[in-house]
Structure 1
Amino acid sequence: MATFLHRLGRGAFRRRRLTLLLWAVVLGIAGAAAAGSGSGSGDSNVTLPGIEAQKAYDVLDEKFPAANADGASARVVVRAPDGKKLADSGPRAEVRSLLADLKDSSPRVAAVADPFVARTISADGTTGYAQVTYKAKATDLTDADHNRLDDALDDARGHGLTVEASGSALAPAAEAASSEAIGFLLAALILVVTFGSFIAAGLPLLTAVVGVGLTMGAITALTAALDLNSSTSALATMLGIAVGIDYALFIVSRYRSERAAGHEASEAAARANGTAGSAVVFAGLTVVIALVGLAVVNLPILTAMGLAGAGAVVVAVLVAITLVPALLGFAPERVLGRASRKKSGQESRPKTTASKLPAAERWAAFVLRRPWQVLLFSVLGLGVIALPATKLELGLPDDSSKPTSTTERKAYDMLAESFGPGFNGPLMLVVSGGDPAATKTAVAQLDRGVKDLTDVAAVTPATYNPAGDTAMVTVVPKSSPSSEQTKDLVHSIRDRAQGVETATGAQALVSGTTAMNIDVAAKFSAAIVPYLALVVGLAFLVLILVFRSILVPLKAALGFLLSVLASLGVVVAVFQWGWFQDLFGLQTTGPVMSLMPILMVGIVFGLAMDYQVFLVTRIREAYVHGADSRTAITEGFRHSGKVVMAAALIMTGVFGGFIGGADAMIKSLGLGLAAAVIFDAFVVRMTIVPAVLALLGQRAWSLPGWIDRRLPHVDIEGEKLGAIPAPSEPGHRDADFTPTH
C-alpha cells in the first residue's frame, strides 16, 4: 500500500497540471449533470418496509388509492375574535371569504373543505379548521403557490381572525445561516494557526471544496431519479467538508515533516502520500464500512443517506491521495511557511527544554507518568456524561417540535387546545377482508372494542372503498401523540385487532403518523445491536490488518462505545431534557429523532477510527523502527498530536456549524457529532489510548503467529519506502522540477 501510494503521489506531483486538469473535467461533468437534472427536491416521507404502520399504507395504495393520495395538503386553523364564535355573522363571513381565497390561491388546489359543512368546529364554537388538498405533490408547488397561500392567510388575519396553518403545502423554512460557511471559517482559522501559512491552510480547504462540489453535483443529479431526501445532501456536505479537510491536513502535515527531515519536494510529497496517505485510505475505509452498514436497518432514507455519506468519503480519499500531492507541486516551498523555510538546513528537531516541548508531547509525558489515574478518571467521566442516554426517547419530528414562532407550531397548539391533545395524532385503522361481509363484521367488533379503551376520545364511522372490502376508521386518543398513554393505546388496539382477525378473517392494521413513529422507534432500537456487531466486527478485522494486533483494535472499539454513549447523553440532556437549550437556540424539546442515534453511531464510529488510525499508526511506526513502547507513544504524539488536535477542532467546528440549521435531525446530529469528536479525540484517543498502551507495553503489538502468517502485509508505516532511492541517489530518475516561490 505504502509503495503504491508513494508512486501515485510522485506521479501526481510530477504531472500536477494534468492531474489538476483531470479533476477539473470530472468536476465539470458533475456540475453539468446536476444542472441538467430535474429540480425535484426528493421525497421527505419516511417509509420503513416490514412494520405494521407501513403495511397499512401499502394496503391503502392497493385497495383505497383515493384515501392515500400523495398530493400536497394544508390544514388551515381559524379562531374567532375574543367573545365571539365562528358561527356568528361577522366571523362566518370572514371564514367564507378565506375559503374562497384559498380556492383561488392556485390552479393546483383540488378542494377546500368548508368547516361548517364538514363539521370541523370545536365544541365551544370558537375554533375550526379547513383542509386544503392539491392536485400536485408538495415538491411540485411553485414559489407563487406558496406566496398566494400566505397572502390568503395574512388577509384573513387582517380582518380579525386568528389564522395559522400546517401541512406539506406550506413553503419550507429558510435556513437562518449558512452552516457550511460557519464550518469553513472556523476550519480556516484553525488551519492558519496550526500551519502558520496561508498557503498550507488554504490547500485543505480548496481540496475539500472540490470533493464536496463533486459529491453534491452527483447527489443533485440523482435526486429526482432516486427521490432522495433533503437530509441526504446535508449529511454528505457535513461529512465531505469534515473528512475532506482532515485528510488533506494529515498529508500536508506529513509533507512538511518529510521536508524538515531533508527530503526534496517531490520525494517528500511521495513519502507523505505513502505514509499519511495509507492512513487516509484505511481511515476512509472504516468510515465507509460504518456508513454502508446502515443498509442493514432496511430503511430507504437511511440507506440513501449512508450511501451518499460513504460516497462523499470515497471522493475525499481520492482527492487527498491525488489532488493534494499535485497541488503541493505548485507551491512546494511556500506551503512550509516562513518559519519553516528559515529553519531549512538545520536539524529537524532543535534541542528543547521540558517546559518548551510541544503541548501534545508534554501531555503524553503526563499521561505516561500516571496511566492508571488518567485512565480511571477519563472512563468515569465519560460514564457520568453518558448517564442521560439511559433515558433516550425516540420519535419522528412533527409540528410540536418546531419553534413556537412558526405558524405550524401555532396551528398545532390551537388544535390541541380546542380539540384535545390527541387530535394532532389520530390513529388510523385499516380493515381489509376477503369479502365485504367479513370486513363489516370486523369493523363492528373493533368499533365496540376500541370505544371501551380508556384513552380513546373519539372513533369516527368507517369509510369503505367502492368494493366494500376495505375500510378506514379514525381513532382520536385523549393523550398527546408522544405520550406513553398513546403508545400503550396503540398496543392495546393491536391486541384487539389480532382477536378480531382470528374471529372474522379480516386483517386490521393500526397506522397513522403516531403509529409510524412508534414502529420506527422500535425498529431502530432492535437494529442498533446487529448494526453495531456488523460494523464493529468488519472494522475490527480492518484494524487487525492495519496494526497487526488484537488488543489495539479491541481498545479502539471499546473507546468508541464510550465516546458515542457520552455524545448520546449530551443529545438527550439538551434536546430531550432542555439543558442549555437557550445556548443552542432551542425553543422546544421532545423525543430525539428516531434516525439520529443509529446514524450518529455509524458516523462517530468511522470518525473514531480516523483518529485511531492517524495517531496510532505514528506510534506503531516509531515502534517498528526500534523505539520501545513508551518512547513510541511520545514520538507518535510529537509527530501527530498537534495535527490530530487541529483535525478534531476542525471537525467540531464543521459539525457545530450545523447546530444552527432548521432541520431537527441535522441540528441534533450536528450537536451529537461535535460532542462525539471532542470526547473521542481529546478523551479517548489523546488520553485513554496512550494510558492503555503504556499499561500494555509490548503486549499491545503482539499478534498470534497463526493470524500473522495469514494476514497480508499492507505496510501502512512505510517500512518499504526506505528501499526507494532518493532523488539524488544513482539510479533515480526524477522529472524536471522547478520550485515555485
Structure 2
Amino acid sequence: MVVRSTDGPVTQGHGREVLTSVTRLLQDEPRIADVVAPMPGATLSQDGRTAVVLAGAGVDTNEMVKVATDLKAPLQDLSGDGVEVNPTGASLLWSDFNEANLQAMMKSEMMSWPVTMAILVLAFGALVAAGLPLILTLAGLVASAGSLVLINHLVPVSTWAMNFAMMFALALGIDYALFLVVRYRAARMGAHESKRQAIAETMDTAGKAVLLSGLTVLVSLSAVMLVPSPSFRSMAGGIMLSVLFVPAATLTLLPLVLSWLDLRINKLSLPWVHTGEHRSARFAAWGERLWRRPVLWGLASLVVLLALAAPVLGLRTALPSIKVLRQDSGIAGAMPAMPASDGSDWVLVQAVPHTDPSDPALSATVDRLRADLPGSALVGGAAVENLDFKAQLDESTPLVIGVVLGLGFLFLLIALQAPLISLLGTLASLLSTAAAFGVARLVFQEGMGAGFLGFEPQGFLDAWAPVFFFAMMFAIAMDYTVFLLASAKEHDERSGDPHEAMVGALAHSGRVIFTAGAVMVAVFFTFAVSGPLPPKEMGVVLGVAVLLDAFLVRLVLLPVMLRLTGRAAWHSLAWLRRVLPDITFSHG
C-alpha cells in the first residue's frame, strides 16, 4: 500500500491517521500474515511524503488475489484530505487483470455473436439452420465453463484458461456443427434420403471427420502438458476440456436436434437459397482452375506464406513487467537487510536493477549475482521468476513442437492411411503457423497496427506465446486438413480418380471450410480489439493463422499438392494397411 501526503510528512497529522487505519484494516484480515510499517531509508521516502506499508501473504497466491479484490476498495476509500492510498503489488495486479479480462471477454462475446450469426445466415440461408451451430456450441460452452468452475474448487485454474477455452471452443464448435448441418441438409433435401438415412450418412462421413478432428486437436494440445509449469498445464487442460465437450455435444445432441427439426431446419430461408445444394459450383470451378495451373497457384501461395513467415527469424520473446550487491554494475541500489519475523536465519535483501525487468541485460546481472554470491543465497523476485520461467519455456519449446508435429502426422496417417499426403498436410500446417508468428513479430514487437488495436508495443512477444499458440494454431490447421482430406479420400474411394478426388473435395468441403474460417477469424479478431494484451496476442496470432490456413493453405496449396502428387498421394504400403485400422469416409 503506497500512502502519499501532499500536505507535509505522511507520518504526521492526517497522514498518520490514515496509516493507522490502513494498518488496522490489514491486520483485521485473517488471510494476511504480517504487516510491516514504513521504515526510514527503505519504505519511507527521504522527503517523508510517501510511505509503503507491506502486507505479507498468509495464504497461497490464488487466495491472495481474492484478498486483494476484497480489500482494494476499502483501502482506496481511506484516501482524502490531501492523502492518497494506492494498493499495489502482484496480488492486486492479478486482481485488476482478472477484472479487465472478464470485461474484455464479455465485450468480445457481445461483438462476436452478431458477426458470427450474420456469417452463418449468409452461409446457410436460413435463420433456423444458422442458429443450430450457435445453440450447440453454447451447450458445449456451458458444460465446459461449469466444469472449469467445479475443478477450480479442487485445483487452481488459470484465469487465462477460462478466457482462452471459451474463445477456442466457440470457434471450434461452430466449425463442427457447420460441417454436420451442411451434410445433413444435402442428404435430406438434396439426395432426398429418408430422415434415418440422412442421419446415418451424416454421422458416417462428416461425423467421422469431426471425431478425428477433435482427437487431433486434443492430441496437439496435450503436448503443452510437457511444459513443467502449473499455469501452462492449467491453460492447456482448460482448453482440452472445452474441446472435449464441444465435439461431444456435436456428435450426440446435434443429430437428435436435426432429426427433430428435420425439414423445419429451412424455416425463415432467404429467397435465393438452394437448401439441398452440397456440391458448390463455384468451388468446383475453383478446383478446375487449380487443376489446370497448379504450379502457378502453388508458387503464388508459397511465396506469400514464406514472405509473411520471414520476419519470424527476428522474433524476440520475453515476459512482461511493470515499468517502474551494490558492487554489481547492473544494480542501482540495495535496501537494508530485513531479518525474518519467525526467528529463522533467513534475511531478505531487496535490490533494484538499472534496467527494466524485461530488458535482456537483466539476465546477465542475475547470472553474475548467482555466480558471485554464496551458495546459500537465493536470487528471486518477480523479475527473476520471469527469467527462470522464460528459460524453462525456451528449453521445452523444441520438444513440444516436435511432439505436436509427430502426433499430428500420426493421426493423419491413421485417418488417411496414406503416408505422402499425411506428411504434406502436416508440413503445410507448419507454413501457416510460421507465417502467423511472422505477422505477430510485426504487430507486437515492431508495433504495426498498435494504435488500431489499442496497446503499447513491448518490443517482444510474450515468452509463453510461441509454445502455447503453436499447439493451438497447429490444432486448428489440422482441423481444416482433416475436413479437406477426408472429403478428398471419400471421393477417391468412390472414383479412384485423382481429378475427382481434388475437385470433388473442394466442391463439397470448400464452402464449409470458407465459412468456418470466416467465423473463426471473426471470433478471434473480436478478442484482438478488446481487453488486456494476452487475449490480443491470441486473437491476432490465431486470427491470422486461420485466415492464412483456411483461405490460402487448405483452399489453394493443399489441393495443388493433391494435383501434383496424383495417385501417389493415396498410395499406402501393404504392411501399413495391416497395422492401421480400416477407416473409410464414403457411406454405403
What TM-score do you get using the length of structure 1 for normalisation?
0.72
Residues 1:385 and 1:124: Cα distance change in structure 2 (over 3 Å): farther
Q: Is the 8 A contact 2:3 2:19 kept in 1?
A: no
Q: Distance in 2 between matches of 1:92 and 1:99?
A: 10
Q: Distance in 2 between matches of 1:702 and 1:199?
A: 42
Shift of 1:518: 1.2
Q: Distance in 2 between matches of 1:474 and 1:90?
A: 23
- SS in structure 2 of the partner of residue 141 of structure 1: helix
Q: Distance in 2 between matches of 1:695 and 1:566?
A: 23
Q: Distance in 2 between matches of 1:673 and 1:632?
A: 29
Residue of structure 2 equivalent to 1:204: 133
Unmatched runs of 5 consecutive residues or more in structure 1: 1-74, 81-85, 350-356, 401-415, 417-449, 502-506, 723-741
Q: Distance in 2 between matches of 1:631 and 1:301?
A: 47
Residue of structure 2 equivalent to 1:393: 316
**Higher RCO, Cα 8 Å, sep 6+:** 1
Residues 1:640 and 1:141: Cα distance change in structure 2 (over 3 Å): same
Q: Is the 8 A contact 1:186 1:653 kept in 2?
A: yes
Q: Distance in 2 between matches of 1:522 and 1:129?
A: 32
Residue of structure 1 equivalent to 2:158: 229
Q: Distance in 2 between matches of 1:595 and 1:473?
A: 29
Q: Is the 8 A contact 2:393 2:463 kept in 1?
A: yes
Residue of structure 1 equivalent to 2:148: 219
Encode CA deviations 1:455-497: one digit per residue, 9 max, x unaligned.
Answer: 1212344445566654433332111111122121112222224
Partner AA of 2:328 in structure 1? L
Shift of 1:123: 5.7
Shift of 1:377: 2.3
Residues 1:123 and 1:90: Cα distance change in structure 2 (over 3 Å): closer
Whether 1:492 aligns to 2:418 is: no
Whether 1:555 aligns to 2:424 is: yes
- SS in structure 1 of the partner of residue 192 of structure 2: coil
Residue of structure 2 equivalent to 1:447: none
Encode CA deviations 1:572-595: one digit per residue, 9 max, x unaligned.
Answer: 222222111111121453432222
Residues 1:185 and 1:594: Cα distance change in structure 2 (over 3 Å): same
- SS in structure 2 of the partner of residue 313 of structure 1: helix
Q: Distance in 1 between matches of 2:575 and 2:10?
A: 89
Q: Is the 8 A contact 2:480 2:550 kept in 1?
A: yes
Residues 1:91 and 1:536: Cα distance change in structure 2 (over 3 Å): same
Shift of 1:223: 0.5
Residues 1:587 and 1:639: Cα distance change in structure 2 (over 3 Å): same
Q: Distance in 1 between matches of 2:395 and 2:274?
A: 58
Matching residue within 23, 47, 55 for 1:103: 23
Matching residue within 513, 528, 539 for 2:408: 539
Q: Is the 8 A contact 2:526 2:539 kept in 1?
A: yes
Whether 1:141 aligns to 2:67 is: yes
- SS in structure 2 of the partner of residue 578 of structure 1: coil
Encode CA deviations 1:490-536: one digit per residue, 9 max, x unaligned.
Answer: 12222224xx44xxxxx333221111111111211121111121122
Encode CA deviations 1:631-673: one digit per residue, 9 max, x unaligned.
Answer: 3211111111011111111111222222244343222112211
Q: How many residues align?
A: 572
Whether 1:240 aligns to 2:173 is: no
Whether 1:195 aligns to 2:124 is: yes
Shift of 1:256: 1.3
Partner AA of 2:425 in structure 1? A
Whether 1:611 aligns to 2:537 is: no
Matching residue within 162, 166, 173 for 2:88: 166
Partner AA of 1:102 in structure 2? V
Q: Is the 8 A contact 2:10 2:51 kept in 1?
A: no
Q: Is the 8 A contact 2:301 2:556 kept in 1?
A: yes
Structure exhibiting the larger radius of gyration computed from Cα positions: 1
Residues 1:275 and 1:237: Cα distance change in structure 2 (over 3 Å): same
Q: Is the 8 A contact 2:148 2:162 kept in 1?
A: yes
Whether 1:182 aligns to 2:111 is: yes
Residue of structure 2 equivalent to 1:581: 450
Residues 1:169 and 1:514: Cα distance change in structure 2 (over 3 Å): closer
Whether 1:293 aligns to 2:223 is: yes
Partner AA of 1:710 in structure 2? V
Encode CA deviations 1:135-194: one digit per residue, 9 max, x unaligned.
Answer: 5643443866332122224x26xx2x6765422246523415532232222221111100
Q: Is the 8 A contact 2:157 2:234 kept in 1?
A: yes
Shift of 1:79: 7.0
Whether 1:630 aligns to 2:499 is: yes
Q: Distance in 2 between matches of 1:97 and 1:118?
A: 21
Whether 1:383 aligns to 2:299 is: no
Q: Distance in 2 between matches of 1:382 and 1:615?
A: 19
Q: Distance in 1 between matches of 2:278 and 2:554?
A: 26
Same amino acid, percent of matched pairs: 29
Q: Distance in 2 between matches of 1:290 and 1:90?
A: 56
Residue of structure 2 equivalent to 1:456: 331
Residue of structure 2 equivalent to 1:152: 78
Q: Is the 8 A contact 2:10 2:49 kept in 1?
A: no
Whether 1:371 aligns to 2:240 is: no
| 1:340-419 to 2 correspondences below 5 Å | 358-400=281-323, 416=324
Whether 1:305 aligns to 2:235 is: yes
Q: Is the 8 A contact 1:297 1:524 kept in 2?
A: yes
Q: Distance in 2 between matches of 1:149 and 1:619?
A: 64
What's the C-alpha RMSD, in Å, of the aligned pairs? 2.8
What TM-score do you get using the length of structure 2 for normalisation?
0.90
